[in-house]
Amino acid sequence: EVQLVESGGGLVQPGGSLRLSCAASGFTFSDHYMDWVRQAPGKGLEWVGRTRNKANSYTTEYAASVQGRFTISRDDSKNSLYLQMNSLKTEDTAMYYCARITTTHKRADYWGQGTLVTVSS
């Protein structure tokens, strides 16, 4: 069974940093691209970014709203995905989900339960 479990969320002041983690199990993590997607309270879904797999040099893509502030990384030996968030703004307040990307169609098929990040003074 595919499982994705996010952690690391919490309350942080504007300008601060936070590192989210996503622990994966039930599939060969190293084969898959992985995404982060967020959802502000009461709002829709917003794609944050993607990391490709080793075969594609672990390259990354980011939404313009987080480019230069957020960094996605992964540790295949630990079946884990990370999101380093720096220079946080109040508008980054959201539930953050990790999502597995299929190897063929390159779309999200499984999502974690999310971890809540609140940016407030």
Partner 1 sequence: DIQMTQSPSSLSASVGDRVTITCRASQDVSNYLAWVQQKPGKAPKSLIYGTSRLQSGVPSRFSGTGSGTEFTLTISSLQPEDFAIYFCHQYNTYPVTFGGGTKIEIK
CB of 64 to partner 1, least distance (A): 7
32-56 burial, b if ≥16 CB within 10 A, otherwise e? bbbbbbbeeeeeeeebbbbbbbeee
Rounded CA separation 110/104 (Å): 14
Q: Is 44 in the site for partner 1 (CB under 8 A)?
A: yes
Q: How far apart are the first and last CA of the chain?
A: 40
Q: Determine the residue type at 55.
A: A
The reply on whether position 113 binds partner 1 by CB under 8 A is: yes
Binder of partner 1 out of 9, 21, 45, 80 (CB under 8 A): 45
CA distance 36 to 82: 9
Should residue 27 be labelled a site residue for partner 1 when binding is judged by CB under 8 A? Answer: no
109 is a site residue for partner 1 (CB under 8 A) = yes
- The minimum distance between CB 93 and partner 1, in angstroms, equals 17
Q: Residues in the site for partner 1, rule: CB under 8 A?
A: 35, 37, 44-47, 50, 61-64, 97, 99, 102, 105-114
